Amino acid sequence: MAAVAHYWASCAGGLEFALLKELENLEGTSIIPGIDSYGGVQFRTTSAPQKVAELRSADNVYAFLSHHKKIPVDKESGMAFLGSLAGKIDWEPVMQLHRLWQETEEPDSSSGISDPLLTINGMANVEQTHVTPQRSFRVTGNRICKDMKKHGYTSMDAAAAIGDGMHELLGWPADMRSFNVEVLAWIIDDELLLVLALIYSGNKKKTKNLQNVSNINEPCAEVEDVEGSEQVKSTKKKRPAERPSRADAQLYSRRPYRKALVHTSLKPSTAYGLLQLADVQPGDIVLDPMCGCGTIPLEAINWLGTRVMGLAGDFVDTAVEAANINATAGESPGHCDVVRWDASMLPLRTASIDRVICDMPFGNRCGNHKVREVLCPRVVKQVVRVLRPGSGIAVLMAQSKTMKEEIEVNQKAYLNLQKHFYVYMEGLKVDVFVVRRTSEPAPTQQIVRPIKNMAKRKRDGQLTKQAALENLSSENPVQ
Ligand SMILES: C[S@@+](CC[C@H](N)C(=O)[O-])C[C@H]1O[C@@H](n2cnc3c(N)ncnc32)[C@H](O)[C@@H]1O
């Protein structure tokens, strides 16, 4: 009988439904409820790593180590508690799972090094690892204060305490730069989730590409590291080339269309969740009017193949360039058209689109908040116009105070709000609206002044916030 493995699969908080749906269809899987504060799902499965790695809605999968509520938050008892955690974990099945994933991931890269706990006989022989430690490890701590003010310890303190406990028990040397095992400790208020990474890129050969990628800690919509991908015109600080990282080794980084990124690129796993909400069907035309690097329509094509047609557009040159690179790199080139346009005046036929799915600009790095508030209603009007009456569905992700009112009041005759909830991404709370187009024929189109060249003018320092607002709010009369 296949061994049962215990996993934590992460995803954007609020999109767990898509992960649960996928796990329902994964053979030999049982869900373990009880962890609600973290985006993700805990489960046990007898399915092989290859099958688990096919989960589209997971950002990443980890070996589950432990979960604790009401952990001490003052320094002294906190350190003592965290230092004792290693002794509470059954490391043998965890390291077996780790080895299985390493064999699956890199079958040819046998370094002759086996997992320490597999060369010894479980915990009885821990002493042996003290003599010839074969693996190095690091613990990465991440701490968030949501409802409480402050922990008595830093993330580094927490990681060090857990690491000390592991070193004492298992005898592995800690190495921050070159490690084979990485434990992640995520602390939210007085709750702790401890997992072990299964996907790595922690070797020099692979980390070379990291020179091109962005800093994942930047407070942007969705910023991430992608191995082997091209960051289009990255203006961010470069990461030291030899620093091994797990961050670029997310499960979704393997999508074949993911060759070029913009700094607001959406995670494909999140895009998949949005496609589920939109109930995309074979034969649909899927439009993202503000496409960035084109993740949403390209994920639809990657998932359903050439049975869907993608349409992507953006008004920033680098985004259009990135989307074009990705559209031709995927398995189905030619199935996603990329256009440079202004989403508030789409050059598309009325009632021609089945699904509009869009993560609109949000977060500090995506423009000015006031500009976004003016842009939202304009884009919604375009969505109303291009969606097929009676059957069209739109999923709009935005940080906007006016969006709900626009849908429920101003466009009430044309849009039916079916769902409104929040998704948590990189610490940001973002609204998601799922709307269905009513059968009411589209209203006559308003002619609006183009927002063209706004991004370029902003870059060149020619566009002030005031000018952008004036440009956006001056609409020509209805024709
Ligand atoms: C959050 S990002 C979308 C990211 C995208 N889903 C991806 O995966 O790369 C929002 C995008 O909207 C674009 N945008 C902002 N205002 C626009 C407008 N008026 N017309 C077209 N695109 C616009 C920005 O250039 C940016 O690429």
Q: Which atom of ligand 1 is nearest to the CA of 379?
A: 19
Burial class of 479 by CB neighbour count within 10 A (0 to 12, 13 to 18, 19+):
exposed
Crossing angle of helices 465-473/369-386, nearest 10°? 30
Q: How many CB atoms lie within 10 A of CB 27?
A: 10
Beta pairing partners, 6? 44
- Confirm or reject: Cβ of 314 under 6 Å from ligand 1: yes
CB crowding 72-108: b at 16 or more within 10 Å, else e: bbeeeebbebbbebbeebebebbbbbbebbbeebeee
- Confirm or reject: Cβ of 292 under 6 Å from ligand 1: yes
Pairing label, strands 137-144, 181-188: parallel
- Confirm or reject: Cβ of 220 under 6 Å from ligand 1: no
Give the amino acid at 39. G
- Confirm or reject: Cβ of 326 under 6 Å from ligand 1: no
Give the amino acid at 295. T
Tell which one of 266, 275, 291 to mutate to probe ligand 1, the residue whose CB is within 8 A of the most ligand atoms: 291
Strands (DSSP E) contained in 274-392 are 285-288, 309-314, 336-340, 355-359
Give the amino acid at 346. L
Alpha carbon of 437 to ligand 1 centroid (Å) = 23
Strand, helix or coil for residue 285? strand
Q: What is the pLDDT of residue 205?
A: 36
- Confirm or reject: Cβ of 322 under 6 Å from ligand 1: no
Alpha carbon of 75 to ligand 1 centroid (Å) = 44
> CB-based contacts of 311: which residues, under 8 Å, 6+ apart?
285, 286, 287, 288, 297, 336, 337, 339, 348, 353
Strand, helix or coil for residue 461? coil
Q: Which atom of ligand 1 is nearest to the CA of 295?
A: 8
Q: What is the pLDDT of residue 464?
A: 59
* Dist CA 291 CA 81 (whole Å): 46
Backbone angles phi, psi at 95, to 5 degrees: -75, -25
Helix (H) and strand (E) counts in the chain: 15, 16
Could you tell me how far CA 80 lies from the centroid of its own chain? 34
- Confirm or reject: Cβ of 310 under 6 Å from ligand 1: no
Are 47 and 29 in contact, with CB atoms under 8 Å apart? Answer: yes
Could you tell me how far CA 69 lies from the centroid of its own chain? 25
- Indicate which residue's Cα is closest to atom 4 of ligand 1: 292
Q: What is the pLDDT of residue 214?
A: 34
Q: What is the pLDDT of residue 162?
A: 98
Q: What is the pLDDT of residue 373?
A: 76
Q: How many CB atoms lie within 10 A of CB 331?
A: 13
User: What tens-digit pLDDT sequence spans the chain (479 residues)?
Assistant: 678 999 999 999 999 999 999 999 999 999 999 999 999 999 999 999 999 999 999 999 999 999 999 999 999 999 999 999 999 999 999 999 999 999 887 765 544 444 444 333 333 344 444 434 467 999 999 999 989 989 999 999 999 999 999 999 999 999 998 889 999 999 999 999 999 999 986 433 332 222 233 332 232 333 333 344 555 544 444 443 343 455 458 999 889 999 999 989 999 999 999 999 999 999 999 999 999 999 999 999 999 999 999 999 999 999 999 999 999 997 788 899 999 999 999 999 999 999 999 999 876 555 566 667 788 999 999 999 999 999 999 999 998 888 999 999 999 999 999 999 999 988 889 999 999 999 999 987 655 555 555 555 566 655 555 555 555 544 433 32
Domain 5-197 has CATH 3.40.640.10: no
* Dist CA 224 CA 151 (whole Å): 27
- Indicate which residue's Cα is closest to atom 26 of ligand 1: 292
- Confirm or reject: Cβ of 257 under 6 Å from ligand 1: no
Alpha carbon of 390 to ligand 1 centroid (Å) = 27
* Dist CA 51 CA 220 (whole Å): 32
Residue 42 tokens read as: 């805990």
Could you tell me how far CA 251 lies from the centroid of its own chain? 10
Give the amino acid at 213. V
Alpha carbon of 198 to ligand 1 centroid (Å) = 33
Are 142 and 195 in contact, with CB atoms under 8 Å apart? Answer: no
- Confirm or reject: Cβ of 295 under 6 Å from ligand 1: yes
Alpha carbon of 259 to ligand 1 centroid (Å) = 18
Q: How far is CA 214 from CA 70, 249, 456, in A?
A: 35, 14, 21
- Confirm or reject: Cβ of 290 under 6 Å from ligand 1: yes
- Confirm or reject: Cβ of 165 under 6 Å from ligand 1: no
Q: What is the pLDDT of residue 450?
A: 56
* Dist CA 42 CA 29 (whole Å): 10
Alpha carbon of 290 to ligand 1 centroid (Å) = 4
In sequence order, what DSSP letters do the residues of 116-160 get, joined into one string?
Answer: HHHHTTGGGGHHHHHHS----EEEEEEEE-SSSS--SS-HHHHHH
Q: Which atom of ligand 1 is nearest to the CA of 363?
A: 1
Strands (DSSP E) contained in 189-321 are 191-197, 230-231, 260-261, 285-288, 309-314
* Dist CA 100 CA 114 (whole Å): 11
Residue 451 tokens read as: 């927002």
- Confirm or reject: Cβ of 318 under 6 Å from ligand 1: no
Tell which one of 252, 253, 264, 397 to mutate to probe ligand 1, the residue whose CB is within 8 A of the most ligand atoms: 264
Alpha carbon of 399 to ligand 1 centroid (Å) = 13
Alpha carbon of 10 to ligand 1 centroid (Å) = 25
Residue 243 tokens read as: 């620093």
Alpha helices in 171-310 (DSSP H): 204-207, 268-277, 295-304
Domain 266-473 has CATH 3.30.420.40: no
* Dist CA 85 CA 65 (whole Å): 10
Alpha carbon of 313 to ligand 1 centroid (Å) = 8
Alpha carbon of 343 to ligand 1 centroid (Å) = 9
Domain spans of the chain, in order of start: 5-197, 266-473
- Confirm or reject: Cβ of 358 under 6 Å from ligand 1: no
Could you tell me how far CA 143 lies from the centroid of its own chain? 19
> CB-based contacts of 122: which residues, under 8 Å, 6+ apart?
92
Backbone angles phi, psi at 325, to 5 degrees: -60, -45
- Confirm or reject: Cβ of 315 under 6 Å from ligand 1: yes
- Confirm or reject: Cβ of 297 under 6 Å from ligand 1: no
Residue at token pair 């009880």: 34
